[in-house]
Amino acid sequence: MSEQSGTHGPAADDAIKRQDRSELQAHGEEWPEPESSGEEATWAPEGRFAGTPPGVDWEGIELRSDLARHLDRTAFPATRAHLLQTLAAHQGEQRLLDLVSSLPDGATFASLGELLRALGLPMEGRPA
């Protein structure tokens, strides 16, 4: 007796397998073969998705993500000095400390979004 999924009968499962197999064969010529250099092949840089719009500032996005990981909502409102203390307490990387050090001394930031705008880092729009 063939294996059966919980939602289909054996005939439907076989039809799905045939369809999947034919789609893989149809696209097989379009997909690049990994080069055999002894290392694991990657087709795109790690963490990047195919179809990403050109001109995306990945470095800015990674900085924004790192700041958000180290500065939670309880860190705000905050001055530059407080942000530097918080980053140091959360073992923030030197590049984050250098970035925040570039802010004006007397400024206060009410939220992470305000901080990101002050640093000129990219912001994502929310879907409508």
pLDDT in tens, 38-83: 556 555 555 555 555 556 667 778 888 888 888 888 888 999 999 9
- Higher model confidence: residue 125 or residue 80? 80
The DSSP-derived string for 44-84 is S-TT--TTPPTT--HHHHHHHHHHHHH--GGG-SEEHHHHH
What tokens does 93 get? Answer: 């990387």
pTM for this predicted structure: 0.54
Q: Does the bond joining 77 to the residue before it have cis omega, within 30 degrees of 0?
A: yes
> The tokens 């290392």 sit on which residue?
39
Q: What is the pLDDT of residue 23?
A: 73
Res. 36: pLDDT tops 80 = no
